[in-house]
Structures are given as C-alpha cells and as structure tokens.
Amino acid sequence: MNWRSVYEFNNRKHPFIPVLFHSMACNHCEEAPCMTNCPSKAFLRDEHTNAVLVNPDKCIGCKYCAWACPYDAPKYNPKSGIIEKCNLCIERIRGDGIPACARCCPTGSLDYGLPDEFTVRQTITGFGDYGLGPKVYFADKDMDRRMPEMVVDDQFKYDPAGLSDSVEMPTSRIDLKSEWSLAVFTFLVPFLTGLFAGISLASIIFPWELFVAFGIMAIFVGSLHTGKKFRSFRSVVNFRNSWLSRETLSFILFFATAVYTLISGSVYLWLVITTLVFGLLASFSIDMVYNLKSRTETGLFHSSNAMLSVLLFTGIFLKAGYPVVFILALKLFLYTYRKIRFYHEGKDPRWLLSIFRLVPGMIFPALHWLTDPSVSWILILTSVIAGEITDRCEFYLELEFKNPENELYSYFKKIRETA
C-alpha cells in the first residue's frame, strides 16, 4: 500500500498554468475528523509525537475515516480488509531518526522538524484549509532552486478555451457499484420505520415474519460494506462522537423493539413511540453521516434526505393524504433544484433517470392522491418506493470527495474562468 500519494496538476504541461506536484500522506491533524468519526474507536494519538495512528485490531474496514479525511490519507487495503495510513514513522522518530519519506526524498522537498524551524506557510494551492489544524507545513519557496527557467515559445498563441484540455477532471472515488449496499440499507431504514408506524398505528396488515426478514436484510447488507464483517459489532462503540455509530446503534434498537412489539402484540403506546423515536434517530443519523466538513455534498438538503423519507413512508402507511403531498412537493423542489444546478455547473443531470424519478416517483402519486381516490394505494406505494430507490442510488452516484486532487482541479477552474 502506498501511504503517500503524489498528485500531479497540469500533467500535459500547458505553458500558461503552473505544473504542480503534491506529495501528501497523513497530516496528523489537531482536530482529526478521522479519529472523531471512526465508529469503532480504532484511532489513537501517540502521546510522544502526537501522530494519529490506527489500531489494526480495532478497525472494521468501514472506510468512514477515508470519507472524513479531506487529505485522502487513510488508504483501504482490500487484502487485509482494514485501513492503513502514514504513522509518521514513530519507531524511527522515537529512535532519534526522521521519517523515511524525508530521509529518502532525493530533492530534499520533504523535511521533518519542529514548526519553528521552518518558515511556515500553510496556505498552498490544493491544500484546502478545513480548520483541522494539519501538522504538515509548507515552507516558502527556495528561489535559488527554481531552475531551469521555462521559456515560452512566442509562436504559441494563448487560447483560454484550450485550457479545458490541459487538466483532467478527477473522477469521483465513490460509485454506486461500491456503495450499493449502503444505498439498500439507507433506503430500508426509513421504509421500515414508516411500515412499523403503519402496522402499529393504522393496523396495516403485514406479516411480522416479512418485517423481520427486511430488518435482517438491512443489517446484513449494511455489514457487507465493512472489510472485517465478524468485527462489525464494534461499529457501535463510538456512539458518543460518531454518527455512523449512532446510525447502527439506533437501527439495532429500533429493530429489536419493533420485533418485540410486533411478535408480542404489545399495545403499549409508549413502546410504539419509543420504537419510532429509534427509527427516526437512525434516519437522522444517516443524514448526519454525510454532513461532514470535508464533503462537497451533504445529505441534509437532498431530495433523498432520510428524515424526509421516514415522514413520507409514515404518511403513506397512515394514509395521510395532504402531508404526503406536501413532502412529495418538497422533495420535488429539492430534486429539480439540484438537477438545474448540475446543468449550470456542466455536470451530467442524468435526464432520463430524472424523468423516471420525477414522473412515476413523485408527480404521479401526488396528483393521484389529490385528485383520484380510486387509484390503488398499493400502486401509489410502489411508485414512491421506485422513486425513493432511484433517488438513493443517485445520491451515491453524485457524492464527491474533497481531496487534494479535487482542490487542484477547482484551482484550475478558477484560472480558466478568469482567463
């Protein structure tokens, strides 16, 4: 595994924009979001060096730290099923040495020492300031080392439009193929919460065995995302700090109380309400899991927001017409707004998928519920489920990291816009 990545910007060497290289591993941040958000408390800080380390025996391979770190430092090792990262060569440092990267760098671009030993300059292109207190500093340029000088051929005609070919847009590291299990899990949680509300408050006929099967399926597919499945139980350990831990814990509590209520036929309202609160908390946690400083898109103002989905399914199972239409209208607004924004930003709005999401998924159920009570409730439910699954899949298709590569690309875009 390469714990250090070297990012190259302007690899086609366009003469009017700088050629930059970024060599980056872990920055051992003061406010390390990898550590705070790790659900299994696998991170620790070395008390002598302040290095941020991973305990391989506690990591469950959920990759959430890689999502939380905007510097792309935690690397998932598919062979071991856990995260690995730069450990600041603490063994060398303890022995009065310096990290291997600083020792080996042939151009002396990497150095190790105390901050006041360097002329410190923390802001640099492609090194985003997220307020995390990274402990890697960039020294001022050594002007004597800017050789050889580049001479631009004056026959070359500068065409700002040509810049578009000079820097490649980074491809997103997240795709539906790798995240499908999360898409299924995050759809099932709001659906099951709404279904439970319908069964216990509106006497919807639904076999409890099927409910249990759906719940087990949610737990099973959720655990597929981790590299160490038999250690997945550790994902609830950090419930005080990590929304991922809270998501798992509240869903387990929801499922346990729901199954007890359904099998025992309990009629206690307090138990039903407690179960629904756990379900709501699980959905709220799903949204918060994606609401990190280091993310470009969050789950909060998205049409597939899990809290909105819980309310939608609850409304449908309780057959509450106007609230359902209101939530569908809100989702429709959020969805259309996002697609128009994508169009203006030059991203692919996926028009065909959008039509499927909008017409059968939102407009059809809303209009029919308002105007045509004879339309089958099952048909409306099926349309909404199809629309919600589509939206959830799109959520994962559209997620983007903030990482050095994307930061460099944004820098390029700014140059191009002002050219």
Q: What is the rounded distance in angstroms from the CA atom of residue 44 to the CA atom of residue 50?
A: 9
DSSP string, 293-314: TTBSS-STTSTT-HHHHHHHHH
Interaction between residue 73 and ligand SF4 (CB under 6 A): yes
**Piece of the chain touching ligand SF4 by CB under 6 A; list 60-68, 114-122, 343-351, 398-406:** 60-68
Interaction between residue 7 and ligand SF4 (CB under 6 A): no
> Which of 59/262 has CB closer to ligand SF4?
59
The 10 Å CB-count burial string (b at 16+, else e) for 292-322 is: bebbeebbeebbbbbbbbbbbbbbbbbebee
Q: What is the rounded distance in angstroms from the CA atom of residue 269 to the CA atom of residue 272?
A: 5
Can you list the positions of beta strands (E) in 108-263?
120-121, 138-139
Q: What is the rounded distance in angstroms from the CA atom of residue 112 to the CA atom of residue 137?
A: 10
Q: How many residues of this chain bind ligand SF4 (CB under 6 A)?
A: 30
What is the token pair recorded at 50? 């302040």
Q: How far is the CB of 35 from ligand SF4 (least distance, A)?
A: 6
> In the block, which residue shows the tokens 């002329």?
119
The pattern of x and - marking residues 132 through 171 that bind ligand SF4 according to CB under 6 A reads: x-x-------------------------------------
Smallest Cα–Cα separation from 193: which of 358, 327, 64, 312?
A: 312
Binders of ligand SF4 among residues 16 to 45 (CB under 6 A) are: 26-29, 32-34, 38-40, 42-43
> Which of 39/299 has CB closer to ligand SF4?
39
Choice from 53, 69, 88, 327 touching ligand SF4 (CB under 6 A): 69
Interaction between residue 54 and ligand SF4 (CB under 6 A): yes
Interaction between residue 51 and ligand SF4 (CB under 6 A): no
The pattern of x and - marking residues 103 through 132 that bind ligand SF4 according to CB under 6 A reads: -----------------------------x
Can you list the positions of beta strands (E) in 10-89?
20-24, 43-45, 52-54, 75-77, 82-84
Q: How far is the CB of 240 from ligand SF4 (least distance, A)?
A: 15
Q: How far is the CB of 232 from ligand SF4 (least distance, A)?
A: 10
Q: How far is the CB of 249 from ligand SF4 (least distance, A)?
A: 15
Interaction between residue 246 and ligand SF4 (CB under 6 A): no
Q: How far is the CB of 351 from ligand SF4 (least distance, A)?
A: 36
Interaction between residue 71 and ligand SF4 (CB under 6 A): yes
Q: How far is the CB of 349 from ligand SF4 (least distance, A)?
A: 32
Interaction between residue 306 and ligand SF4 (CB under 6 A): no
Q: How far is the CB of 222 from ligand SF4 (least distance, A)?
A: 13
Interaction between residue 289 and ligand SF4 (CB under 6 A): no
- Whether residue 247 contacts residue 286, with contact meaning beta carbons closer than 8 Å, is answered with yes
Q: What is the rounded distance in angstroms from the CA atom of residue 198 to the CA atom of residue 306?
A: 18
Choice from 7, 9, 10, 52 touching ligand SF4 (CB under 6 A): 52
Residue type, 136: V
Interaction between residue 65 and ligand SF4 (CB under 6 A): yes
Interaction between residue 182 and ligand SF4 (CB under 6 A): no
Choice from 74, 279, 365, 387 touching ligand SF4 (CB under 6 A): 74
Q: How far is the CB of 46 from ligand SF4 (least distance, A)?
A: 12
Alpha helices in 295-376 (DSSP H): 306-317, 321-344, 351-358, 364-371
Structural element, H or E, at residue 9 = strand 5-9
Interaction between residue 380 and ligand SF4 (CB under 6 A): no
Structural element, H or E, at residue 411 = helix 404-418
Instruction: Assess whether the previous peptide bond of 148 is cis (omega < 30° from 0).
Output: yes
- Whether residue 45 contacts residue 51, with contact meaning beta carbons closer than 8 Å, is answered with yes
- Residues for the chain: how many in total? 419
- DSSP tag of 124: B
Residues 6+ apart with CB under 8 A from 50: 28, 135
Q: How far is the CB of 322 from ligand SF4 (least distance, A)?
A: 42
What is the token pair recorded at 73? 């430092």
Q: What is the rounded distance in angstroms from the CA atom of residue 277 to the CA atom of residue 193?
A: 9
Choice from 75, 85, 331, 338 touching ligand SF4 (CB under 6 A): 85
Can you list the positions of beta strands (E) in 33-95?
43-45, 52-54, 75-77, 82-84
Interaction between residue 83 and ligand SF4 (CB under 6 A): yes
Positions touching ligand SF4 (CB under 6 A) are 26-29, 32-34, 38-40, 42-43, 52, 54, 59-65, 69, 71, 73-74, 82-83, 85, 132, 134
